Structure 1
Amino acid sequence: MAARKKNKIKASFGRRVFCFFNYTFFAILAFAMLAPILNLIAKSVSSEAAVLSGEVGLLPNFKELQFDTYRIVIENKSFIIGLKNTVLVTILGSFSSLFVTACAAYALSKEYLRARKALIVLCIFIMIFSGGLIPTYMVVDKLRLTNTFTVLWILGAFNVYNMLILKSNFESISSELEESAMIDGAGHLTIFFKIYLPLTKATLAVITLFSAVGYWNNFFTSLIYTSKPQLKTLQLVLKEIIFSVSDIFLNLYGGQSAGEVTAQSTVAACVVVATIPILLVYPFLQKHFTKGVMTGAVKG
């Protein structure tokens, strides 16, 4: 024990100063990101008087706590429909995007693929220059996908950025593994599902997280391509609540808001409820985040 303490290298003064400022900077940065969330939670459980008087900051007024806003949000049929649609779109879209992206990355990682470089250049080109809103809408309309549930997830099924990360990861896998598998009689499907995908779990987890967050936060697709109330996603419902929350309160709840809840607290409660599901998913994928991004970006 004494020898171990004796051999311990003492940090230099410059190193200690660097660590101090480093920890201080990231602590301030973390607080700056956490403060708006705490403020939203505080507003969502605060009374009208406390919010309007400016008493609510990072913490609510504990003497005037109320949870009517969450009850109102949960009982709102539009909010429940939007939440259900968004959950289904996120699950279906994330897995479909993962499958399509992985298949494209596997094919483009093979140097013997014909027109490989041209296809990669084309993918990068369409990532930078899209077809535009009007041509895309015309294609979707001709395919009779408007006002369907399919349009909510199929438009984002292929992501070039995620494909390039995964392609780089696939290229880092030793070609000897594929050659030995082919000698044993394995085809491309077997190699893809039993060799490449298991070896890139970290990157796949990160891509799944990227896709899930993108689908969860997307309201533009529902806004442009759907008009049926039963197809509205959560973000579109939130947008409508934010811009017309006063009218909603008057029409649905009459004078209940007086002295109990306020438009600001209702919007805050909606945002908190909408954020909770995606926050619950992140801790399960966080351990793969750094490894997956660095592996896909550096190797290859």
Structure 2
Amino acid sequence: MQAIIYAVLAVLAFVTFYPFWNSLVISFNTGSDTALGGVTFWARDFTLENYKIVFKEDDIFHAYIITILRTVFGTALSMFFTALFAYGLSKKGIVFKKFYMILCIVTMYFSGGLIPYFILIYDMHLYNTFTFLLINGMINVYNMIIFRTFFAELPDGLEESARIDGCSNFGVFFKIVIPISGPVLATLSLFTAVGLWNDWFTPAVFISDQSLIPLQTLLVQIINAGATASLMTNLNTYAQSMVQNTVTVKALQMATMMIATLPILMIYPFLQKYFVKGALVGSLKE
């Protein structure tokens, strides 16, 4: 039975990992050779030309910077305000505490719809701005509930001793609560960062300025062949003559996809030790 379980897990792992590996192999293979077929596990005609072209394109480099800035600052803002909100709701004696929680939970299942939200963002002069990319979804109710559960389980003695020493509410939050919230902060920060990094739909709807388009939205355009022609025509004459027989649309798509995917994947190993402890916060009670 154990052998069957391992066999099934091995097959599932292969089915999950192979598409990514094949895309990576194609990105390092010449496009003309890939078009012949048969490129599966190894690059048959290795080249770095696909990546050279991608990094030479100013639009892709600029979109990469936008994605990095949005992920870093968006995650920081989301963690700060969500944790602060959750800390307030975790305190006993808050007036209308249950009412606030009901309002928050309702927003997890119901929304006003895309069109009313678009009108609201437009009327607030946030349409087509980088500010919108940062504050959109700044308070995540699901993360707030996890934070709130974690904060509610902290010993009361920690805060009481800090207040005896003269700490205010903000002092307790920043000096006591946040430093001991490493596992839950690391876990939720990673989930939030991955969500922001991979989000292409929101900028596609609320951002029309090409200089503010994140990499994932640009990648969707490239995959849909909407931006590939522009990308190829923007290359200089030397680059075109050098790679005209080796680079294809598919090769550029795979190279761009790897550039957009690998950075966020590299973060996982460094935060893996926090996953189990952070994800199970509040699941066990004495």
Q: Do they fold alike, i.e. is TM over 0.5?
A: yes
Q: Give the whole-Å Cα distance in 1 for the aligned partners of 2:7 and 2:146.
A: 32
Identity of matched residues, %: 37
Could you state the TM-score of these two structures normalised by the residue count of structure 2?
0.92
How is 1:39-58 mapped onto 2 (pairs within 5 angstroms)?
A: 39-58=22-41
Q: Does 1:116 align with 2:102?
A: no
2: CA distance between counterparts of 1:189 and 1:252?
Answer: 52
SS state of the match for residue 29, structure 2? coil
1:37 to 13, 17, 20: 20
Deviation per CA, 1:101-132: give whole Å up to 9, x if none: 10011011112111111111111100111221
Long gaps (5+) in structure 1: 1-16
Q: Which runs of 5+ in 2 are unaligned?
A: none
**Residue 152 of structure 1 is aligned with which of 129, 133, 153?**
133
Q: Which residue of structure 1 lines up, in the alignment, with residue 6 of structure 2?
A: 23
SS in 2 for 1:295: coil
Q: Name 1:210's counterpart in structure 2.
A: 191
Tell me if the contact between 1:43 and 1:51 (Cα under 8 Å) persists in the aligned partners: yes
Structure 1 residue 141 corresponds to structure 2 residue 122: yes
Task: Pick which of 252-261 and 267-276 moved more.
Answer: 252-261
Alpha-carbon distance in 1 for matches of 2:147, 2:98: 16
SS state at 2:111 partner: coil
Corresponding residue for residue 258 of structure 2:
272
1:260 equivalent among 220, 223, 246: 246
Change (3 A) 1:299 1:53: farther
Secondary structure of residue in 2 paired with 1:178:
helix
Q: Could you give the per-residue CA deviations for residues 226-262 of structure 1, whole angstroms, max 9, x where no partner exists?
A: 2112111111111111122552365235566543011
Contact 1:147 1:226 in 2 (8 A): yes
Give the whole-Å Cα distance in 2 for the aligned partners of 1:249 and 1:80.
12
Within the candidate set 247, 262, 270, 1:284 is matched to: 270
Distance in 1 between residues matched to 2:57 and 2:143, nearest whole Å: 36
- Kindly indicate whether the alpha-carbon contact (under 8 Å) linking 1:48 and 1:258 is maintained by their aligned counterparts in 2: no
Counterpart Cα distance in 1 of 2:5 and 2:282 = 27
Does residue 92 of structure 1 match 2:73? yes
Partner of 1:168: 149
Shift of 1:165: 1.0
Q: Distance in 1 between matches of 2:56 and 2:68?
A: 18
Distance 1:27 1:139 in 2: 49
CA shift for structure 1 position 73:
0.5
Contact kept in structure 2, 1:40 and 1:268, CA below 8 Å: yes
Amino acid at match of 1:230: S
Larger Rg belongs to: 1
**Could you give the per-residue CA deviations for residues 78-114 of structure 1, whole angstroms, max 9, x where no partner exists?**
1011000000000000000000110011011112111
TM-score, structure 1 normalization: 0.88
Contact 1:249 1:257 in 2 (8 A): no
Identify, as 1 or 2, the structure richer in helix. 1
Residues matched between the structures, number: 281
State the alpha-carbon separation in 2 of the partners of residues 232 and 86 from structure 1: 8
Letter in 2 for 1:90: T
Answer with 240-249 or 85-94: which moved more. 240-249
